[in-house]
């Protein structure tokens, strides 16, 4: 039987989170923002914590532009090409399925077709160069290249309908296919494990028992694992749960409090 409190700690539902400050430089089409890309196995959501802007999306249902402001929540399925537009100070808490796999490999940028012929060609165009702030120029060149491909995809959709996206999707599948076995391990140890644990807990509760409560823990992360990373859409504060999530007994930010008489009133 699967038990809660066993295995590597993961956030509820096996999600991943990061704090995103969307790029504030202007792209070739005159809009400010991030790099268009797609996830093939994972859903992603945004909770807007500050600023304003929009998310542009393109999938077999067509192109949409959804306004974003503080308090807005939006999410989308795998296969939805998306691009963030920064209207000013746009900051987002990103919520990613499968323990943050969208930031750990499940992403293909919308480069023009000549950069999508195989994985090696794609990596040559997508890998950033330099360290720290020196990466900014290559991040913007990468964004601008993906934007050219994104605008072309929108034009193809306008003339051909959903089939106008088929070539891009096929190329994207070919690029990520060598990584799928690794992705499966992440899914099995995260979202699938938690779902199996919930099923076992429901079975136990239905029988009138609750053995899983005996292994209950409280976890915490003291700070982002990395701050200011150049991501696809902007600068990221990243939380690596594998490296930092710890039970209360081993976590300096989680301090047990003795229950005084007032706790029982």
Q: Which CATH architecture has domain 12-242?
A: Sandwich (2.60)
| Angstrom distance (rounded) from CA 246 to CA 243 | 9
Torsion angle of C-alpha atoms 175, 172, 108, 123, degrees rounded to 10: 30
Which has more pLDDT, 47 or 131?
47
Residue 100 · residue 86 · CB < 8 Å: no
Segment 179-214, tens digit of pLDDT: 999 999 999 999 999 999 999 999 999 999 999 999
| Angstrom distance (rounded) from CA 6 to CA 252 | 21
Which has more pLDDT, 94 or 261?
94
Scanning the chain, the segments in alpha helix (DSSP H) are 97-100, 119-126, 136-160, 166-176, 180-189, 191-206, 241-244
Kindly list the domain boundaries of the chain, sorted by start residue: 12-242
- Is pLDDT above 60 for 2? no
Q: How many other CB atoms sit within 10 Å of the CB of residue 170?
A: 11
Mean pLDDT of the 61-65 span: 98
């Amino acid at each position: 039987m699967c038990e809660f409190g066993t295995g590597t700690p993961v956030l509820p539902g096996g999600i991943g989170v990061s704090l995103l400050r969307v790029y504030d430089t202007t792209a070739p089409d005159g809009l400010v923002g991030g790099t268009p890309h797609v996830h093939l196995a994972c859903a992603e959501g945004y909770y807007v914590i500050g600023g304003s802007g929009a998310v542009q999306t393109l999938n077999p249902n067509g192109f949409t532009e959804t306004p974003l402001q503080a308090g807005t929540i939006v999410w989308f399925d795998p296969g939805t090409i998306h691009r963030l537009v920064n209207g000013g100070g746009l900051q987002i808490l990103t919520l990613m399925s499968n323990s943050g796999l969208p930031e750990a490999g499940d992403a293909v940028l919308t480069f023009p077709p000549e950069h999508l012929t195989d994985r090696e060609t794609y990596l040559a165009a997508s890998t950033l160069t330099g360290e720290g702030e020196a990466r900014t120029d290559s991040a913007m060149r990468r964004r601008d290249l993906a934007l050219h491909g994104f605008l072309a995809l929108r034009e193809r959709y306008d003339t051909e309908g959903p089939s106008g996206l088929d070539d891009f999707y096929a190329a994207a599948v070919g690029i990520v296919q060598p990584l799928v076995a690794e992705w499966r391990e992440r899914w099995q140890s995260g979202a699938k494990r938690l779902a199996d644990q919930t099923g076992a807990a429901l079975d136990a509760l239905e029988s009138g028992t609750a053995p899983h409560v005996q292994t209950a823990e409280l976890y915490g992360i003291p700070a982002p694992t990395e701050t200011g990373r150049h991501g696809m859409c902007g600068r990221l504060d990243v939380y690596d749960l594998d490296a930092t999530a710890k039970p209360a007994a081993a976590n300096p930010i989680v301090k047990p409090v003795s229950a005084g008489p007032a706790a029982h009133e």
